Amino acid sequence: MNLWKETWDFSKIFEEMDKEFSEAENFLNRVFKSANENGKGLVLSQSTPYYYGYSIAVGPDGIPHVKEFGNLKPSQKGLIQRSDVRKPLVDSILDEKENTLIITAEMPGITKQDIKVSVGNGLVTLQADKGDKKYHTDLPVKYELDEGSAKASYTNGILELKIKVKKPSKPSAKEIKID
């Protein structure tokens, strides 16, 4: 019995991935070369790490969601814009059994006392500041959250935030007598 209706050619998948990574590497090489030749944009130093990337995840709706992270981004002009504030790599998932939104953020080099988390107005804001380590991100949330239930922990550079999702109130219907 064949469970697959079609066969997968994994070599083509990996060839396509290799092509995409090669194009990304060429793009970054052009950006760095342009920045150094023009003397504009980024002045590279050996003491500060530079990183920029994407996280791609397919949601339960089957739609891929792309998130950027890092402390530099390619600008429209092909030069690099560096920021002292890093956008951390963040992942969020809704635990439907517990009716809880779980947000995980990678924020190394700080302590839990350096972190500020706020929840409200459809946003979860994560920020931290300790010396040259600065993080900030605003996460739009499509659920109504119970701010009072929020619990956070920070271990080995990973912040985990758990917030209960408010159950939607059931609309009460009142029968209207017709005169």
Q: Report whether pLDDT(43) > 60.
A: no
Question: Is the model's pLDDT at 143 over the cut of 70?
Answer: yes
Per-residue pLDDT tens for 79-115?
Answer: 555 667 888 989 999 898 999 999 999 999 999 999 9
CA-based max dimension of the chain: 83
Measured distance CA(18)–CA(129) in Å, rounded: 37
> pTM for the full model?
0.57
**Confidence class of residue 160 from pLDDT cuts 50, 70 and 90?**
very high
What pLDDT does residue 147 have?
Answer: 87
Would you give the distance in Å from CA 60 to the centre of its chain? 17
Task: Measure CA 10 to chain center.
Answer: 28
Tokens of 138: 């605003």
* Segment 55-66, tens digit of pLDDT: 777 777 777 777
| Two structure tokens written together for 98 | 């517990």
Domains of the chain: 10-85 (no CATH), 88-167 (2.60.40.790)
Please check the confidence at residue 131 and state whether its pLDDT lies above 70: yes
- Report which listed range, 36-45, 69-78, 143-152, is most confident: 143-152
Taking the CA atoms of 98, 104, 109 and 113 in sequence, report the sign of the dihedral they define: negative
pLDDT category at 177 given cuts 50, 70, 90 is confident
